[in-house]
Homo-oligomer: A and B are copies of this chain.
Amino acid sequence: MHVVRIAVAGASGYAGGELLRLLLAHPDVEIGALTAGGNAGTRLGEHQPHLAPIADRVLGESTAENLAGHDAVFLALPHGKSAELAAQLGDDTLVIDCGADHRLTDSAAWDRWYGGEYAGHWPYGLPELPGARERLVDSRRVAVPGCYPTGTSLALYPALAAGLIEPEVVITAVTGTSGAGRSLKPHLLGAEVMGSLSAYGVGGVHRHTPEITQNLTAALGSPVSVSFTPVLAPLPRGILASCSAKLTGAAADTATVRQAYEKVYADEPFVRLLPEGQWPTTGQTLGSNLVALQVAVDTDAQRLVVVSAIDNLTKGTAGGAVQCMNLALGLPETTGLPTTGVAP
């Protein structure tokens, strides 16, 4: 394999930083252009001091000109910024969009949840979903999923697909604050975040709702109703999702459910159904590309509860993106992707 020369647009943000952390450790990658918006012209190390080996690199402008001439270009930009850039990058360049622009297959959903011109949809970068991996191989465009859709779709789709639960799912997902990016908003200040928990985007208004719905509906083949509540918690990284739905009656017990999950995920290198009795923690996934899962059947409430844990920046964004790059370029899917977390 020749070396893959990559560029990152949005290198001063959290997603960009995590992409670079992973790509620096990727044996087949060479880091090319690093670009930014308002931070163009500054040293990368001012924003990402943890990327010591490339801290002295100076950020360029996020223009097509600067991003051209690479094998793969990662876009870690606010939504609405990717389509125009991608159009200028050529069809043979692998463009991996970590933003939302090309995730939704339904333009009406785009209009309702995001607005602005609909940019169409690209192969969806969650290889563990049915049919997704095949569409990613050799693709030159990838839409990286949102962080919440990653952890929750993988938690729920096997049970839906196996007919074990009703198509009305209820999700409460707790997240660290890096999910909001490096946004200068008062509620994201350390003093506000530490020592407090808060709900936001309640009542189905969070933009990841239609994406979760899209994934689960596709997995089942018929409409799935999704109630989604995100909660902000005092930690930098991690999403713990509590996902549940009524049992259909097909699943009498936990063993049946475990078998369904084991079957679906048996060969998945990044999905780990924990041993019975052990529950996922986000700490165990920190900095890794793993999804940790556990299931429980609540016989009183007649509901299945599935809990998933991921690192929102790794499997939830940058790790998922690198996994897709590997698939698209014919590299082994797991190359350069940690399966151990950094704990405690």
Measured CB to CB, the residues of A under 8 A from B are: 14, 17, 21, 24-25, 43, 45-53, 56, 168, 170, 172, 174, 176-178, 180, 182, 184-186, 188-200, 202-205, 209, 225-227, 229, 231, 233-240, 242, 244, 246, 254, 272, 274-275, 278-288, 290, 292, 294, 296-303, 305, 307, 309, 338-344
Contact = CB atoms under 8 A, between A and B. Distances in A.
Contact of A244 (B170, B197, B298): B170
Given A275-B45, A286-B342, A305 B237 contact: no
A235 B196 contact: yes
Contacts of A182: 186, 189, 191
A193 B191 CA distance: 9
Contact of A236 (B188, B195, B231, B301): B195
Contacts of A172: 172, 229, 242
A294 B286 CA distance: 28
14 contacts: A49-B278, A50-B286, A53-B339, A190-B190, A192-B283, A194-B236, A196-B283, A197-B282, A202-B296, A203-B254, A204-B301, A205-B296, A225-B301, A226-B300
A324 to B, nearest CB: 21
B194 A227 contact: no
Contacts of A205: 296
B234 A198 contact: no
A174 to B, nearest CB: 5
A338 B237 CA distance: 20
A190 B192 CA distance: 8
Protomer copies: 4
Contact of A199 (B194, B240, B284): B240
Nearest to A290: B52
A146 B225 CA distance: 32
Contacts of A178: 191, 344
Given A49-B292, A229-B305, 11 more contacts: A21-B342, A52-B284, A53-B340, A197-B239, A199-B307, A200-B279, A202-B242, A203-B297, A226-B301, A227-B244, A229-B244
Contact of A202 (B226, B279, B285): B279
Nearest to A47: B186
Nearest to A254: B203
Contacts of A300: 204, 209, 225-226
A52 to B, nearest CB: 5
Given A21-B342, A298-B203, A301-B204, A282 B174 contact: no
Nearest to A306: B202
Nearest to A299: B204
A29 B9 CA distance: 36
B50 A340 contact: yes
A45 B298 CA distance: 25
A93 to B, nearest CB: 26
A231 to B, nearest CB: 6
